[in-house]
Amino acid sequence: MIYDPTGVVEAQPKPLAPRLANLRGLRLGVLDNTKWNGNKLLRAIVALLQRDDGIGEVRYYKKESFSKSADPALIASIAAENQAVLTAIGD
């Protein structure tokens, strides 16, 4: 018997959001995935965005676990409450 681990992934293409002209004054949502260094990386990037690009208010959110997808209600809240979102993996 031969096991073939390849498969087919079926997914509908989704368009990317339009690129923002600039970040000055925008409200930024930051999603922490709870990985060990993720929060450290995100805070460093936020500091740079505030210094160099004039980001406005910053709101922080946290996933339940890095190994699980974010709750759809959390994603909806982040999308509704912010004009731009930042997330990262910090391994």
In a domain, 3, yes or no: no
Which residue's structure tokens are 């709750």? 71
In a domain, 4, yes or no: no
Show the tokens assigned to 6. 């390849």
Give the pLDDT of residue 60.
Answer: 97
Report the C-alpha gap between 91 and 85 in whole angstroms: 20
In a domain, 59, yes or no: yes
How many structural domains does the chain have?
Answer: 1
Report the C-alpha gap between 24 and 19 in whole angstroms: 14
Q: Which pLDDT tens digit goes with each residue over 1-45?
A: 787 788 888 889 999 888 999 999 999 999 998 888 888 999 999
Cα torsion through 30, 22, 79, 34, rounded to 10 = -20
In a domain, 67, yes or no: yes
Give the pLDDT of residue 29.
Answer: 98
In a domain, 43, yes or no: yes
What range does the domain containing 32 cover? 28-87
Q: Comparing C-alpha atoms, which of 28, 43, 30 is closest to residue 82? A: 28
Report the C-alpha gap between 29 and 58 in whole angstroms: 6
Report the C-alpha gap between 3 and 24 in whole angstroms: 54
In a domain, 55, yes or no: yes
Give the pLDDT of residue 79.
Answer: 95
Q: Which pLDDT tens digit goes with each residue over 33-87?
A: 888 888 899 999 999 999 999 999 999 999 988 888 899 999 999 999 999 999 9
In a domain, 16, yes or no: no
pTM of the model: 0.80
In a domain, 15, yes or no: no
